[in-house]
Amino acid sequence: MKEEDRIMQGILFSPAHPDLKALKRKAHKLSQQYSQTFEDEVEDRERILQEALGHIGEASFIQGPVFFHYGVHTRIGRNFFANYNLTIQDDALVTIGDYTSFGPNVTIVTPIHPLIASERRRMLDQNGEEKPLCYAKPVTIGNDVWISANVTICGGVTIGDGCVIGAGSVVTRDIPAHSLAAGVPCKVIRPITEEDSMRYKPEVMADCNVIWHHADDEKEED
């Protein structure tokens, strides 16, 4: 079994394995290249992201600087936006949906290390050799999610469609769809409902208007 397969199965692996180190070196190099580009270097940025990531959908924009640990383990949907200092330590798979946006300094970390100090130093691998070992859990973020500034998302977490995660939160457990959640650790505050529409904030809306979506039209027809 390849070391990368062990990651995907959620079992202990050696992060220092030569195959994994080669993947990480490539991702780190591409991250650095991207971080040194300017916003108007659109073609160069697109080329780097296509090479660095497992997938990135159309009309997506990442401000930079960025850091991807493996890169190829990250899959991003359409119309994604990320502000400054995005860090994705994607040992395990990281999946991000369409129309999802990140504020500055968002971090996603998938690896998990033993709590016992001696076990963090060394354990016996599948061949009986002493090595530092860890494991990793995937992260899944749905469509139309807003992740505010300075949020950390830990391995094993799923954030459902339409969620808003408050600034500075540390997300250690799943957040159900259409929830407003915040805190350390992050907890659901309440559901996001129709009453949260900007339609009910005329003092902010001024001379602007919301767009009626198909779901709203269908409700009216019903």
Q: Which residue type occupies 95? A: T
Q: Is 156 exposed, middle or buried (0-12, 13-18, 19+ CB in 10 A)?
A: middle
Positive or negative, the Cα torsion across 10, 11, 14, 19? negative
Catalytic residues: 113
Q: ∠24-138-152 over CA atoms, to 5°? A: 85
Tell me: the pLDDT tens digits for 128-155? 999 999 999 999 999 999 999 999 999 9
The whole domain housing 121 covers: 3-221
CATH number of domain containing 148: 2.160.10.10
Confidence (pTM): 0.93
| Cα–Cα dist 208/188, whole Å | 30
Q: What is the pLDDT, as a whole number, of residue 164?
A: 98
Name the domain count of the chain: 1
Tell me: the pLDDT tens digits for 181-219? 999 999 999 999 999 999 999 999 999 999 976 554 444
